[in-house]
Structure 1
Amino acid sequence: MLNVLKVRIYPNKKQELALAKNFGCVRFVWNYYLNKTNNQYLETGKGMTYCDMAKDLTQLKKQLDFEWLAEATAATLQQSLKNLESAFKNFFSKRTKFPKFKSKNKKQSIRYPESCSIRNKGIKLPKLGVVKAKISQVINGKIKSVTVSKTSTDKYFAAILFEMDDSTTIEKLKISGIDLGLSSLVTVFDGETTYKIDPIKPTRKYAKRLKRRQQALSRKAKGSNNRQKAIKEVAKVHEKIANTRQDFLHKLSRKLCDENQIVVAENLNIKGLARTKLAKSIHDAGFGMLLNFLDYKLKREGGKLVEVDRFYPSTKLCSCCGFKNDLLTLSIREWICPECKTQHDRDENAAKNVREEGMRILSTNTDGQSEFQAWGETVRLVGTCTEKRVSVNQESPVTASA
């Protein structure tokens, strides 16, 4: 399987200049052929394919006005065209929005698809030589590509894509259900115990610092050197917020991955939630990032992330008897089941129901069997209470017996 290791690199002055030229050439090629494809589509109703753009690029580099394109690595320019073709395919497949023109003032990146290797505590890149890097682990597999990026705070990173052995086997399974929220970021139920992890709220933590930097920026004259310095100061705070959130979610996903082989979570409509009055808190929590981290880390170790339908009423169902409480509102954090009189914490009850539904999904995907192995023992799909759990659609015991 493929794995990615992101490391920080420290190019010298000569390498920084070469990278700047590469960034500029790759950005120009993207913008040039995005514009040319748009114009051709308007004229003929058909855009340019990668082969069309690659042939045209070869001729373009021979022209006097564009000889400077030869200073960039040819593979990075070709990769830019492949990325542009993929962007159009994703747009027509309705997976993403229409491709945009790239700005030199935002994050810059180039991808080296070949001829990269690890050498002397650094990364050897075409036309750059060995670039000093902090590599935290040994890369034994074949390197497929290296993506070099420069942030708005002038830091350089390299994302190394390499092949790794995927012969991980799992002898025992531990399954946990998680409920995502804002008061408690994650509520975890592993079948026996329940615990909660609170969000760190990095945006609120650095809100005052960000406000001061933005106020200082607003007082600088446009186009001045001081304004450029102030822009970098604001970018540093945004970077600090993003890094704090990412670091916390990496550690949390690692903890869940180490403790479980299967994690069950709801398939939340994060874009829809981000359009509500809770948008700022939703973005700050990073639900989507956490689920992405969990997904690839579990897959890498032979585990699995099981997603429960977003319309599954995990909060309203009694995890003990299955009674559905339609009167439950968002403000009610604790409630007592009218049927079995069990007292529930809203988030803990949801985590139990999510785990139960995940086990049902797993069981139906296992050759139609109604049981599977977890921690070496056969787990049957029953509730956590001695009373029989009724179906979500079942209105009353009388209807069932009839």
Structure 2
Amino acid sequence: METKRAYKFRFYPTPEQEQTLANTFGCARFAYNYMLRQRTDAWFQRQEKVGYHETSAMLTALKKQPGFAWLNEVSSVPVQQSLRHLQTAFGNFFARRNKYPAFKKKDGAQSAEYTTSAFKWDGRALRIAKMDDALNIRFSRTIPKAAKVTTVTISKDCAGRFFVSLLCTDQVHAKTPVTAKVGIDLGLTHFAILSTGEKIVAPKAFRKNQEKLAKLQRRLAKKTKGSANRKKAKLKVARLHAKITDTRKDFLHKLSTRMINENQVIAIETLAVSNMQKNHKLAKSIADASWSEFVRQLEYKSLWYGRELVGIDRWYPSSKRCSDCGHTVAKMPLNVREWACPECGAIHDRDINAARNVLAAGLAVSAIGESVSPVCI
């Protein structure tokens, strides 16, 4: 199947390239914030609707003014794309998919998007508009020759690392069918409990670095605002956050890929994560687990590689139901980790029993052709 696929790599710019990118980031951020202010004022002060085409005309007029001539020193494509991103942000807001667009910060993550007219890619080297030399990219994997690169996004995170993302139109082929099927019960002590009886320990990336992060943040709070030492302390905090994020992403990608490679059918229980995070005793651990990201990865990978992902209703009594005889007990407190079925006498590990019930329900849903619940977490 043909799909859009992004390949993200780290690269190391030369001092000249870094300065050019800094200017580009600044111009794109300025255009986004300036037009966000114009659209906001137009609506709340004059009840006028301003869309993408109006902001594009404003930007053209702005570039002709002597005080804004510096906007012409960088490639026009990323600056123009920032207006499209603003339009998308407003579209998501009006569709109630996101909050009202916020202003971009100078000390936050930066990005610039280049379309086909602003870059050259020959399969080995990438050259960006307004730069003479190709980017020094560390390729961690090979981009297929048949893949057509349509968009290049240059980004810089808060830890000072530069990344390039190449969005391609690529052909993804289904994997060889297998007979294995698995049910997954998500948890906190163990990130995932499989119907096979395997328990996968949660990485707890944030918890393991919590004390060190708190120490660095206390040091940062004591530094004078605007000082060089404050910038150094802030960078240390950002680098630790980046380490936590990278550790979590690495774990989730490896686990989701393994599940896709080994199983033809994957059944998983849907969870209302936003509601669960209202429990302040568990909110931090739930956020650290990143269940939503894991399910998102399973969704697109199963679609790409010809696997079946089945979502089970969150109210399905997977923990209270005996996987041997089907008897359902009335109550099952969270502190009960092992229980005996009063009907058949089978002794169950709470989580493994739940995973087996999730698999059974998923197979029933798959066979009947109905959806117990959409995979939405």
- Alignment TM-score > 0.5, same fold: yes
Q: 1:8 aligns with which of 7, 10, 19?
A: 10
Give the deviation of 1:175 after TM superposition: 2.2
- Partner amino acid for 2:258? K
- Partner amino acid for 2:100? F
- After superposition, the C-alpha distances for 1:251-301 in whole angstroms (9 at most, x for unaligned) are 211221211133221221111122212011111112112112222222222
Q: 1:267 aligns with which of 261, 267, 270?
A: 270
- After superposition, the C-alpha distances for 1:189-247 in whole angstroms (9 at most, x for unaligned) are 2xxx3211011212222223223322322332222111111111111111111111111
Q: 1:131 aligns with which of 110, 119, 135?
A: 135
Q: 2:213 aligns with which of 197, 210, 214?
A: 210
- Separation in structure 1 between the aligned mates of residue 291 and residue 157 of structure 2, nearest angstrom: 24
- The structure whose Rg is larger is 1
- Partner amino acid for 1:235? A
- Separation in structure 2 between the aligned mates of residue 168 and residue 211 of structure 1, nearest angstrom: 45
- Separation in structure 2 between the aligned mates of residue 307 and residue 126 of structure 1, nearest angstrom: 45
- Call closer, same or farther: CA 1:43–1:216 in 2, change over 3 Å: closer
- Separation in structure 1 between the aligned mates of residue 216 and residue 175 of structure 2, nearest angstrom: 50
- Partner amino acid for 1:45? Q
Residue number in structure 1 paired with 2:95: 93
Give the deviation of 1:339 after TM superposition: 1.8
Residue number in structure 1 paired with 2:374: none
SS in 2 for 1:194: coil
Residue number in structure 1 paired with 2:180: 174
Q: Is the Cα–Cα contact under 8 Å of residues 315 and 347 in structure 1 kept in the other structure?
A: yes
Q: Does 1:283 align with 2:287?
A: yes
- Call closer, same or farther: CA 1:117–1:255 in 2, change over 3 Å: farther
SS in 1 for 2:153: strand
Q: Does 1:356 align with 2:360?
A: yes
- Partner amino acid for 1:340? C
- Partner amino acid for 1:42? F
- Separation in structure 2 between the aligned mates of residue 259 and residue 120 of structure 1, nearest angstrom: 32
- Separation in structure 1 between the aligned mates of residue 12 and residue 122 of structure 2, nearest angstrom: 14
Give the deviation of 1:170 after TM superposition: 4.5
Q: Which runs of 5+ in 1 are unaligned?
A: 369-402
- Separation in structure 1 between the aligned mates of residue 328 and residue 101 of structure 2, nearest angstrom: 45
- Separation in structure 1 between the aligned mates of residue 277 and residue 61 of structure 2, nearest angstrom: 46
Give the deviation of 1:120 after TM superposition: 7.8
Q: Is the Cα–Cα contact under 8 Å of residues 121 and 132 in structure 1 kept in the other structure?
A: no
- Match runs of 1:220-299 below 5 Å: 220-276=223-279, 277-299=281-303
Q: Is the Cα–Cα contact under 8 Å of residues 180 and 265 in structure 2 kept in the other structure?
A: yes
- Partner amino acid for 2:222? R
Q: Is the Cα–Cα contact under 8 Å of residues 122 and 134 in structure 1 kept in the other structure?
A: no
Residue number in structure 1 paired with 2:194: 188
Q: 2:155 aligns with which of 142, 149, 173?
A: 149
Give the deviation of 1:133 after TM superposition: 0.2
Q: 1:158 aligns with which of 159, 164, 167?
A: 164
Q: Is the Cα–Cα contact under 8 Å of residues 178 and 263 in structure 2 kept in the other structure?
A: no
What number of residue pairs does the alignment pair up?
364
Give the deviation of 1:31 after TM superposition: 0.6
Residue number in structure 2 paired with 1:41: 43
Q: What is the identity percentage for the equivalent residue pairs of Structure 1 and Structure 2?
A: 39
Q: Which runs of 5+ in 2 are unaligned?
A: 372-377
- After superposition, the C-alpha distances for 1:156-175 in whole angstroms (9 at most, x for unaligned) are 00111111113426544432
SS in 2 for 1:176: strand
- Match runs of 1:288-367 below 5 Å: 288-365=292-369
SS in 2 for 1:249: helix
CA RMSD of aligned residues (A): 1.9
- Partner amino acid for 1:338? P
